[in-house]
Amino acid sequence: MEMPTPNAAVISRKDQIVARLAKVLPPDAVISDIRETKAYECDGLTAYRCPPMCAVLPANTGEVVAVLKICHEMGVPVVPRGSGTSLAGGALPTADCVILGVAKMNAVIETNYDDRYIRVQSGRTNLSVTGAVEQNGFFYAPDPSSQLACAIAGNIAMNSGGAHCLKYGVTTNNLLGITMVMMDGTVVEIGGAHLDAGGLDLLGVICGSEGQLGVVTEATLRILHKPEGARPVLMGYDSSEVAGQVVTDIIKAGVLPVAIEFMDRPCIEATENFAKAGYPMCEALLIVEVEGSDAEIDAQLALIMKIAASHNPVELREAKDAEEAGRIWLGRKSAFGAMGQINDYMCLDGTIPVSSLPHVLRRIGEMSKQFGLDVGNVFHAGDGNMHPLILFDANKPGDLELCEEFGAEILKLCVEVGGCLTGEHGVGIEKRDLMNVQFAPADIEAQMAVKDVFDPAWLLNAAKVFPLASSEPRRAA
Amino acid sequence: MTPENEDDLAQMITGASGPLRIVGGGTRPIGRCAGEALSTAQLSGITLYEPGALTLVAKAGTPVAEIETALAAENQRLAFEPMDHRALLGTKGTPTIGGVVAANVSGPRRISVGACRDFMLGVRFVDGTGTIIKNGGRVMKNVTGYDLVKLLTGSYGTLGVLTEVSLKVLPAVATQATLTLDGLDDATAIAAMSASLSSPYEVTGVAHDPATGKTCFRLEGFADSVAYRADALAKALAKFGTLDVVDDARTVKATWAAIRDVAAFADQPGDVWRLSVKPSDAAGIVAGIGAKAVQYDWGGGLIWALTQGGDLRAALGDFKGHATLIRGTADVPTFQPESAPLAAITAGLRAKFDPRGILNPGIMS
Ligand SMILES: Cc1cc2nc3c(=O)[nH]c(=O)nc-3n(C[C@H](O)[C@H](O)[C@H](O)COP(=O)(O)OP(=O)(O)OC[C@H]3O[C@@H](n4cnc5c(N)ncnc54)[C@H](O)[C@@H]3O)c2cc1C
């Protein structure tokens, strides 16, 4: 993955820049020693690394304003960072940048159960938002698998999803308001405890803008009362066609499960070896979870089991208690870890229309042979968000490149069948140069025009999202 | 002007020499603007509907009724329940899906499932320079590039003329019931509504009408589940009174259609304002504005106020939320004036998407 040539003029002024930042921040909040900046050299896309010129860790909105004013004035690129779990290289530094990390900003500012919201500083981790309200029976719905580590700031920037978004939506559907500092230091307050924007839906376009429009410092999030209970069923089928049909039939029957997860044979085999969850060896495995009171769960599951049974399952297992439910989820939750045991892997994130699942899986299987790399598929089947995991050997010269090439072909296939390049991980650097596959030049131009308004000098995380060739004239200006 | 297709529309916009007033069904004349009428009537028809994938794509001029009929045939629906403005605004015509999206029109279920914008998966539109642009797509999860879908939804045509929208749809429900409390004052009603929304019983509509003293709660789902939750909710709200349950399908439907369309104000003279506020602020706000009548939806988060006229915002002062003049003659901005930095961003975006300022100019001021 290519990155722009760092701005030598900026790097040559490193001492002055650091000195000015040190004046507005506490001593331990400015990190410029190369041994320490290395801690920020990559995010979850670990194949790409580059230590930043320096990193700052402000503690509040005021300090973020001070940092951005200096960087703006001195023409220094800034890359915002939450917890650094992005799988797309969204938080990857450039050698001439200041990493602005919000990790210190993790306070709960207000909780309001009557009006069902919580306001937090953006560096707070996703899981600890739920942690702050669960003693009152509430939770924050979006639940990325990385929720123990990832920050609300990163969730907003990537519009992250989770296993339960079929029912609860993704970040953008649960975000009520933000405080954001623009690159020139202007503070904007958008939304709040009330619903829907008054004017243009700026919150909507900022959510998912990958740290390119401003630095989010605080957020108001919708919280919900926990359901009375939840229970999964597991079903195994001989073919992905049949499993796909089961998903369609369930949805058409009017049941809305909170999650429908799909795993294919390579993935089942890997997780069985690793986690021993007792999954059946078959072509396609589905985990379907519903919520409600015991009686409601029974009723919904009865309907689902009937549909499942009518398609000749090789296995059909309903969780009778919490322990069995845990076992059903065990394999799915350890899928990434299991694949990681076998080899290095790259996790893709394209979305397809649910109806093209069998076709896409067949094509991925064919490509796997062609490229000579194994691939396993984990899939949020209810919403078409695929996570093909391509196995490769990072120590073998050329394998990473081959894997990336294979990955690109899969994503092109997703677009070809009417889907998209990324369902929840974001574009970052990883899919940046594939944007032309999904979008015409005018579509990309319209998006870049939005950045022009928020960050006219293109200093914020500018080497991401858009093909470098497309953003070049703006970045160079 | 009535373009026959997207290319036609693009050419008309490119060639336009003055302001254009974009018209879908013409049933929601919210905000004022002058200009030559540009109708989306010919850009009509459902282009794709996949019930198993919960997605529907339609051209912007497609009548909402046509979409609802197609969905009903597959036992599905537009879950955000778009309001029909005709009775309230005294308009005729056929509401179009493009109009719904351009105005981000939602109904009582907004409080539980989200607004129109939350169901929007993709758009095609023509901007003020005549450029055809697409964003989003037809799949439910998509974070590829910036979310211009949200930006266009609720932009009242000021950033571009929508030509096609794709929507997430949801299964229809087997049973609906309305539970009613009687005789609560506003503040107590809001407390009761908050209690219901803070329960696990998945209430999908919560409204209070001070004129009738009725506080309504809607439950939906499979019959057994609705019965169970009705019971549980009655227990949870026991301290507010005894809940009366109505589960006759037609009555329930009519009740919520009336709430959705603010039917109570349709035949009453006066200006109509729509306020989005923090629910626990609502009763206090209403007490301070001296309206002729009000109606609360969204558990108190949405206030419909019927006034004598004049500038309601003067009475509101500095409050948290926003107020929109939906019907009336008051010579005030239709939309809540924004803070200076937000107004600058908005103006900047308009200048990019519509540099000549010809698309519904001024409609959102
Ligand atoms: C094991 C694993 C599992 C995962 N599972 C999921 C999943 O289920 N669903 C999912 O959606 N994602 C998942 N992810 C991806 C990742 O966790 C999410 O993208 C997450 O939201 C990133 O949060 P972060 O705090 O780590 O952000 P970072 O990685 O630090 O940054 C992500 C982006 O946010 C920007 N940013 C950070 N802070 C700010 C700020 N204050 N203001 C503006 N922009 C900012 C950055 O510039 C960058 O572009 C997973 C990752 C891993 C490693």
Nearest C-alpha in B relative to A353: B139
Which of A208, A225, A251 faces B146 most closely, judged by CB atoms? A208
Backbone angles phi, psi at B319, to 5 degrees: -125, 160
Question: What is the residue whose two structure tokens read 């939320």?
Answer: B321
Interface of B with A in 53-82 (CB under 8 A): 53-55, 74-75
Instruction: Give me the pLDDT at residue A310, please.
Output: 97
Q: Is any atom of ligand 1 closer than 6 Å to the C-beta of A261?
A: no
Which of B51, B142, B154 faces A197 most closely, judged by CB atoms? B154
Residue A278 · residue A212 · CB < 8 Å: no
Instruction: Give me the pLDDT at residue B38, please.
Output: 97
Cβ neighbours of B354 in A, within 8 Å = none
Q: What is the pTM of this model?
A: 0.97
* Radius of gyration from C-alpha coordinates of chain B: 21
Q: Is any atom of ligand 1 closer than 6 Å to the C-beta of A126?
A: no
Q: Is any atom of ligand 1 closer than 6 Å to the C-beta of A208?
A: no
CA of B6 from ligand 1 middle (Å) equals: 37
Instruction: Give me the pLDDT at residue A332, please.
Output: 87
CA of A469 from ligand 1 middle (Å) equals: 25
Residue A221 · residue A266 · CB < 8 Å: no
Closest CA to B245 of B165, B172, B163, B180: B180
* Residue B322 zone, left/alpha/beta (φ > 0; ψ -120 to 50; rest): beta
Instruction: Give me the pLDDT at residue A313, please.
Output: 97
Q: Please name the helix (run of DSSP H) or strand (run of DSSP E) that holds residue A262, with its range, or none.
A: strand A259-264
CATH number for B175-260 (one of 3.30.470.20, 3.40.50.10860, 3.20.20.100, 3.30.70.920): it is: 3.30.70.920
Residue A115 · residue A193 · CB < 8 Å: yes
A188 touches chain B (CB under 8 A): yes
Instruction: Give me the pLDDT at residue B329, please.
Output: 84
In the chain, the amino acid numbered A162 is G
CA atoms within 13 A on the CB side of A238: 4
Atom of ligand 1 nearest to the CA of A80: 47
Q: Distances in Å between the alpha carbon of B133 and those of A222, A435, A436, B168?
A: 32, 14, 14, 20
Residue B53 · residue A354 · CB < 8 Å: yes
Nearest C-alpha in B relative to A202: B151
A112 touches chain B (CB under 8 A): yes
Q: Distances in Å between the alpha carbon of A192 and those of A114, A220, B154, B279?
A: 15, 6, 18, 12
Task: Report the residue among A99, A146, A171, A385 best suited for mutation to probe ligand 1: largest number of ligand atoms under 8 A from its CB.
Answer: A146
Instruction: Give me the pLDDT at residue A440, please.
Output: 98
Nearest C-alpha in A relative to B127: A446
Residue A436 · residue A469 · CB < 8 Å: no
State yes or no: pLDDT of B66 exceeds 80. yes
Cβ neighbours of B49 in A, within 8 Å = none
DSSP string, A129-177: HHHHHGGGTEE-----TTTTT-BHHHHHHHT---TTHHHH--GGGGEEE
**Rounded to the nearest 5 degrees, what angle is found at the Cα of A139, between the Cα atoms of A135 and A144?**
130
Coil, strand or helix: which one is A84?
A: coil
Q: Distances in Å between the alpha carbon of A253 and those of A200, A239, B68?
A: 37, 21, 18
Instruction: Give me the pLDDT at residue B87, please.
Output: 97
Q: How confident is the model at residue A294 (pLDDT cuts 50, 70, 90)?
A: confident
Cα–Cα distance between B70 and A472 in angstroms, integer?
46
Q: Is any atom of ligand 1 closer than 6 Å to the C-beta of A88?
A: no
Per-chain mean pLDDT for chain A: 95
Instruction: Give me the pLDDT at residue B330, please.
Output: 84
Per-chain mean pLDDT for chain B: 97
Q: How confident is the model at residue A256 (pLDDT cuts 50, 70, 90)?
A: confident
Q: Is any atom of ligand 1 closer than 6 Å to the C-beta of A332?
A: no
Q: pLDDT by residue (tens digit) across A301-350?
A: 999 999 999 999 999 999 888 899 999 998 888 888 888 888 889 999 99
What is the arithmetic mean of pLDDT over A393-419?
95
Distance from CA of B171 to the nearest CA of A (A): 5
Instruction: Give me the pLDDT at residue A333, please.
Output: 84
State yes or no: pLDDT of B86 exceeds 90. yes
Instruction: Give me the pLDDT at residue A420, please.
Output: 98
Closest CA to B152 of B129, B170, B134: B134
Q: pLDDT by residue (tens digit) across A163-183?
A: 888 899 999 999 999 999 999
Cβ neighbours of A156 in B, within 8 Å = none
A192 and B127: CB-CB below 8 Å? no
- Edge-to-edge strands of the sheet including A98-101? A30-31, A54-56, A98-101, A78-81
Q: How confident is the model at residue A18 (pLDDT cuts 50, 70, 90)?
A: very high
CATH number for A108-225 (one of 3.30.465.10, 1.20.1630.10, 3.40.50.1700, 1.10.3720.10): it is: 3.30.465.10
Cβ neighbours of A433 in B, within 8 Å = none
Closest CA to B321 of A111, A223, A114, A192: A192
Cα–Cα distance between B104 and A220 in angstroms, integer?
21
Q: Is any atom of ligand 1 closer than 6 Å to the C-beta of A338?
A: no
Interface of B with A in 333-362 (CB under 8 A): 335-336, 338-339, 341-342, 345-346, 348-349, 352-353
Instruction: Give me the pLDDT at residue B95, please.
Output: 98
Instruction: Give me the pLDDT at residue A49, please.
Output: 96
Q: Is any atom of ligand 1 closer than 6 Å to the C-beta of A380?
A: no
Instruction: Give me the pLDDT at residue A209, please.
Output: 98
Instruction: Give me the pLDDT at residue B206, please.
Output: 98
Helical segments of A175-333, H only: 202-206, 240-252, 265-275, 294-309, 322-333
Instruction: Give me the pLDDT at residue A337, please.
Output: 82
Question: What is the residue whose two structure tokens read 């974009």?
Answer: B22
Question: What is the residue whose two structure tokens read 């394999």?
Answer: A331
Instruction: Give me the pLDDT at residue A274, please.
Output: 87
Instruction: Give me the pLDDT at residue A225, please.
Output: 96
CATH number for A8-103 (one of 3.30.43.10, 3.40.50.1260, 3.40.50.300, 2.40.30.10): it is: 3.30.43.10
B171 and A380: CB-CB below 8 Å? no
Cα–Cα distance between A423 and A446 in angstroms, integer?
20
Cα of first residue to Cα of last residue in chain A, in angstroms, is: 23
Which of A325-362 are b and which e, b meaning 16 or more Cβ less than 10 Å from the residue's Cβ? bebbbbbbbbbbebbbebbbbbbbbbbbbbbbbbebbe
Tell me which residue has its CA closest to atom 15 in ligand 1.
A86
Instruction: Give me the pLDDT at residue A275, please.
Output: 86
Q: Is any atom of ligand 1 closer than 6 Å to the C-beta of A210?
A: yes
Q: How confident is the model at residue A454 (pLDDT cuts 50, 70, 90)?
A: very high
Q: How confident is the model at residue A198 (pLDDT cuts 50, 70, 90)?
A: confident
B266 touches chain A (CB under 8 A): no
CA of A42 from ligand 1 middle (Å) equals: 12
SS (H, E, C) chain B: CCCCCHHHHHHHHHHCCCCEEEECCCCCCCCCCCCEEEECCCCCCEEEEEHHHCEEEEECCCEHHHHHHHHHHCCEECCCCCCCCHHHHCCCCCCEHHHHHHCCCCCCCHHHHCCHHHHEEEEEEECCCCCEEEEECCCCCCCCCCCHHHHHCCCCCCCCEEEEEEEECEECCCEEEEEEEECCCHHHHHHHHHHHHCCCCCCCEEEEECCCCEEEEEEEECHHHHHHHHHHHHHHCHHHCCCEEECCHHHHHHHHHHHHCCHHHCCCCCEEEEEEECHHHHHHHHHHHCCCEEEEEHHHCEEEEEECCCCHHHHHCCCCEEEEEEECCCCCCCCCCCCHHHHHHHHHHHHHHCCCCCECCCCCC
A313 touches chain B (CB under 8 A): no
- Edge-to-edge strands of the sheet including A175-181? A108-112, A117-121, A215-222, A175-181, A187-191
* Residue B349 zone, left/alpha/beta (φ > 0; ψ -120 to 50; rest): alpha
Q: How confident is the model at residue A437 (pLDDT cuts 50, 70, 90)?
A: very high
Instruction: Give me the pLDDT at residue B263, please.
Output: 97
Tell me the domain boundaries of chain B: 6-171, 175-260, 263-327
Tell me which residue has its CA closest to atom 53 in ligand 1.
A85
State yes or no: pLDDT of B204 exceeds 90. yes
Q: Distances in Å between the alpha carbon of A144 and those of A135, A163, A340?
A: 21, 7, 18
Architecture of domain A228-270+282-334: 2-Layer Sandwich (3.30)
Distance from CA of A8 to the nearest CA of B (A): 29
Instruction: Give me the pLDDT at residue A320, please.
Output: 86
Cβ neighbours of B126 in A, within 8 Å = none
Nearest C-alpha in B relative to A204: B150
CA of A428 from ligand 1 middle (Å) equals: 10
Cα–Cα distance between B61 and B25 in angstroms, integer?
8
Instruction: Give me the pLDDT at residue B310, please.
Output: 92
Which of B75, B276, B302 faces A254 most closely, judged by CB atoms? B75
What is the arithmetic mean of pLDDT over B308-331?
93
CA of A430 from ligand 1 middle (Å) equals: 13
Q: Is any atom of ligand 1 closer than 6 Å to the C-beta of A461?
A: yes
Cα–Cα distance between B137 and A142 in angstroms, integer?
21
Tell me the domain boundaries of chain A: 8-103, 108-225, 228-270+282-334, 343-425
Closest CA to A237 of A187, A202, A201, A287: A287
Torsion angle of C-alpha atoms B350, B353, B359, B365, degrees rounded to 10: -10
* Residue A341 zone, left/alpha/beta (φ > 0; ψ -120 to 50; rest): alpha
Instruction: Give me the pLDDT at residue A317, please.
Output: 94
Q: Is any atom of ligand 1 closer than 6 Å to the C-beta of A347?
A: no
Choice among A274-288, A304-318, A322-336, B279-293 with the minimum mean pLDDT: A322-336
Torsion angle of C-alpha atoms B158, B159, B165, B167, degrees rounded to 10: -90
A19 touches chain B (CB under 8 A): no
Choice among A340-354, B18-32, B55-69, B73-87 with the minimum mean pLDDT: A340-354
State yes or no: pLDDT of B56 exceeds 90. yes
Cα–Cα distance between B223 and B200 in angstroms, integer?
17
Asked if this assembly's ipTM is beyond 0.95, the reply is yes
Nearest C-alpha in A relative to B136: A420
Q: Is any atom of ligand 1 closer than 6 Å to the C-beta of A423?
A: no
Choice among A52-66, A247-261, A460-474, B145-159 with the minimum mean pLDDT: A247-261
**Identical fold between A228-270+282-334 and A343-425:** yes
CATH topology of domain B6-171: 3.30.465
Backbone angles phi, psi at A281, to 5 degrees: -85, 110
Q: How confident is the model at residue A385 (pLDDT cuts 50, 70, 90)?
A: very high
Nearest C-alpha in B relative to A456: B348
CATH number for A343-425 (one of 3.20.20.70, 3.30.70.2740, 3.90.1200.10, 2.130.10.10): it is: 3.30.70.2740
Instruction: Give me the pLDDT at residue A263, please.
Output: 94
Instruction: Give me the pLDDT at residue B300, please.
Output: 98
Q: pLDDT by residue (tens digit) across A91-144?
A: 999 999 999 999 999 999 999 999 999 999 999 999 999 999 999 999 999 999
Instruction: Give me the pLDDT at residue B8, please.
Output: 98
Cα–Cα distance between A435 and A412 in angstroms, integer?
10
Instruction: Give me the pLDDT at residue B235, please.
Output: 97
